[in-house]
Amino acid sequence: MITLEQIIELVKPGLISGTHCQPTGKVTDDSRSIVPGDVFVAVRGNAFDGHKFIPRAIEMGASVIISEELVENDDVCVLVVSDSRLVMGPLALAMAGNPQEKLRLIGVTGTNGKTTVATLIYQALTAMGISSGLIGTVQKIFNQTEYKSMLTTPGAVELADDLRRAVEAGCTHLVMEVSSHALDQRRTEGLHFDAAVFTNLSHDHLDYHKTFDAYQKAKKRLFDSLPAQATAIVNVDDLSGRSMVTDCQATVWELTLKDDDYRIAQLDARGILVDMDGLYLQSPLTGKFNAYNVAQAFLACVALGCSPANTASALAGCYGAAGRLENVTLKLDIPLQNDQPAVFVDYAHTPDALENVLQTLQEIRSKNQTIHTLFGCGGNRDRDKRPKMAKIAARYSDVITVTSDNPRFEDPDAIIDEVCTGFGEHDHYQRITDREKAIRHVIASAGADHIILIAGKGHEDYQEIGGKRHPMDDRALAGKALQQRKSPKPIAGEN
């Protein structure tokens, strides 16, 4: 617990009013969780303004209120600041004992590849005997103990608590996915990263950021915040790569795989081989985009002081994140039959990600194989990408099934209608609204010469409908369908 005087020193309020009350509890921006003695930070969000809940926070017993507005109440101590978000992170970290000071922090940002790169770094560090933690979209892991993850980057209070747990678990290194939402909302304020990785930037999250420029600027904040002793690793084969490190104080390492010294030496169904100026990185992952992921994970470990040879050896045994071009057929516990199709599950839910994974399947397919893509688009998200994803699916697939993917509060059939506007009259597609039925049907009707891509959800184990998360796991459904393959039954709604 820290004192009121320490809080004042940390947040540097422009105005102090009310009663001098010492806090005895936690810091929170959720008035519903307050118990007597807590510190309440009123944060302006996109959906709610925390200032409206200040009376409730006082009623619940908050002893200190941090606000951007003057509060007329003599029963609590009110600290008025210019931006509550900027003080939330440092205050939460201080209340947690400043665990970030005991960790080497690695941040990974970008539209696609964050989860794979962060997971590969964590897996490689662990393989080299370094006690490490991971915070990301799929899971949280602190020294090999796993926890459920709800957000790519947690809120400031939860994040500070996660860092504390990592230290208590014995971690010395922590790898984090850093989302554009988190950067825009300043959830990582107060953290000083030792290394930061930029993967790529493409059309996503414009429902939140509104413009691509705003999205790009949000990502850039990670690199703007790096101290001089840190290392920034950027993919300069991406058009936004160099702009990320404009005026960056850290040492900048630029990655390209398009010259004679740094290149993809081998790419097939067995994996990839990347030539890093004479040092070869071998990986069981496949696809051009994974070559970049492996190379950036390698550079991040080296930036942290790991030897290049040891890092390369460690990465050779790393499989990355669940639900990222995951070959469900190969992971079945039963012996594979000769008539089984190859089924891949991937998280691709943006036009760029879908194109990347389909290009990968095109690269590894044999001449007689048929690519069947099953995908949908999320509800209450960027609508512009819906027909774009249809066009990409049609360009790289022989057959397409359009289905639901977290419709949220939208009509799933209306979403599918918008997706289908991107198809041409000669494209071979069907629509099956129920995702579970769609997966069963596609796998049941496939031949042994089919490569099936189930895209959009990857590691997710739910379908979000009407504000509720219903259990659903593409990998489990696909595995069950593969084991129960039989003649397909007609399903209403096919085109």
Q: Residue 364's pLDDT is what?
A: 84
Enumerate residue ranges in the chain where pLDDT < 50. 334-336, 487-495
Query: Measured between alpha carbons, how far is 76 from 71 in angstroms, rounded to an integer?
Result: 9
- Chain center to CA of 453: 20
Residues 199, 255: Cα–Cα separation, whole Å: 10
| CB-count exposure of residue 129 (10 Å: 0-12, 13-18, 19+) | exposed
Q: Quick one: DSSP state of residue 336?
A: P
pLDDT at 137: 84
- State the DSSP code for 49: B
User: What is the rounded CA–CA span in Å between residue 125 and residue 301?
Assistant: 7
Q: Do 346 and 385 meet the contact criterion of CB atoms below 8 Å apart?
A: no
Q: Within a 10 A sphere around the Cβ of 313, how many other Cβ atoms?
A: 15
In 3D space, the residue among 80, 87, 99, 46 whose CA is nearest the CA of residue 189 turns out to be 87
pTM of the model: 0.80
User: SS3 for 418?
Assistant: helix
Backbone dihedral region of 32: left (phi > 0), alpha (psi from -120 to 50 degrees) or beta?
alpha
Token digits of residue 302: 């080296």
> Over the range 275-308, which residues count as b (16 or more CB within 10 Å of their CB) and which as e?
bbeeeebbbebbbebbbbbbbbbbbbbbbbebee
The closest alpha carbon to 319, from 288, 291, 353, 283, belongs to 283
- Kindly report the length of the chain: 495
**List of domains in the chain:** 4-95 (3.40.1390.10), 99-315 (3.40.1190.10), 326-483 (3.90.190.20)
